[in-house]
Amino acid sequence: MFGEILKRVREAVGVAERKPAAIPDGLRVYAIGDIHGRDDLLGNMLRRIDADAHAYPPARNVLVFLGDYVDRGLQSKQVLDRLTAHPLSGFETVYLKGNHEAAMLEFLRDANFGRTWKYYGGLETLHSYGITELTLSDNPDDFEQAQQHLQRVLPPAHRHFLETLQPSIEIGDYFFVHAGVAPGISLSRQVEDDLLWIRDKFLQSDTWFGKMIVHGHTPKERPVFRHNRIGIDTGAYMTNVLTCLVLQGTEARIIQTADVMVPDFAGNAAG
């Protein structure tokens, strides 16, 4: 399936034939896109992944989360409760850092950052921890109070989780990251700001980055397959569709919390 998709993409954009990206033998990778406070969808997805792994044995299974566990949805605390409890036995698990986790950490360091964080999902995260000081207020004192409240009620396991997230990981011919990478810079020299925040320069690039990039961050109605990247953020918090990319050998397939959508693998490279 994946080899055929890559072939069609290369034909569409005029890219020379390249050996299909592959995962090492004996390994299966499940990469999960942006969750954004939807613990209900996360629980559904983990059940589907567990069933899938049992249906396609044997393999060493690696679960890669692409970040943005918190904000926007109403169940951020519940998501972190589930993830810090080691949700699937028998899986190696990698947790990557998203820009929304960076924002939550910044608020824990600087209450004034709440003026920014509040309006792109932070308010919902605070509510999930029972913090309501900022619901109807932009008073500076209330930002300080909300920060102190979060510091008191945030479980140590949640803070440790947030502070130890990885910026990226390479597995075989794939590079997994939250947002993307800066074109023209080797993968080993990428800076965290780009890995967590980049959009247009990455999305519009036809550059081959040295590995196939698997990313989230920019929501689309369908998973996006390009000759140089695969995007799997399907806007779960508003669409009810959480997406997982399954990679084994040179094959790729999609698991979703709804009927599988046909991947977008043709047309504009910008996605």
Cα–Cα distance measured from residue 217 to residue 230, given in angstroms and rounded to the nearest whole number: 12
Cα–Cα distance measured from residue 81 to residue 68, given in angstroms and rounded to the nearest whole number: 15
Query: Residue 267 — very low, low, confident or very high, per pLDDT cuts 50/70/90?
Result: very low
CATH topology of domain 2-11+27-98+166-256: Purple Acid Phosphatase; chain A, domain 2 (3.60.21)
Q: What is the mean pLDDT of residues 196-223?
A: 97
pLDDT digits (tens, 9 = 90+) for 145-189: 999 999 999 999 999 999 999 999 999 999 999 999 999 999 999
pLDDT digits (tens, 9 = 90+) for 236-253: 999 999 999 999 999 999
Whole-model pTM: value is: 0.91
Q: What is the pLDDT of residue 35?
A: 98
Q: What is the pLDDT of residue 4?
A: 55
Cα–Cα distance measured from residue 242 to residue 9, given in angstroms and rounded to the nearest whole number: 24
Query: Could you identify the residue written with the tokens 């510091």?
Result: 151
Cα–Cα distance measured from residue 64 to residue 29, given in angstroms and rounded to the nearest whole number: 7
Q: What is the pLDDT of residue 258?
A: 84
Query: Residue 13 — very low, low, confident or very high, per pLDDT cuts 50/70/90?
Result: very low
User: Edge-to-edge, what's the strand order for the sheet holding 224-225?
Assistant: 168-171, 174-177, 212-215, 229-231, 224-225
Cα–Cα distance measured from residue 65 to residue 15, given in angstroms and rounded to the nearest whole number: 30
pLDDT digits (tens, 9 = 90+) for 126-149: 999 999 999 999 999 999 999 999
Q: Alpha helix (H) ranges present in 111-240?
A: 114-117, 122-128, 140-153, 156-163, 192-197, 200-203, 236-239
Choose between 13 and 223: higher pLDDT: 223
Q: What is the pLDDT of residue 8?
A: 54
Longest dimension (CA), the chain: 60
Q: What is the mean pLDDT of residues 194-216?
A: 98
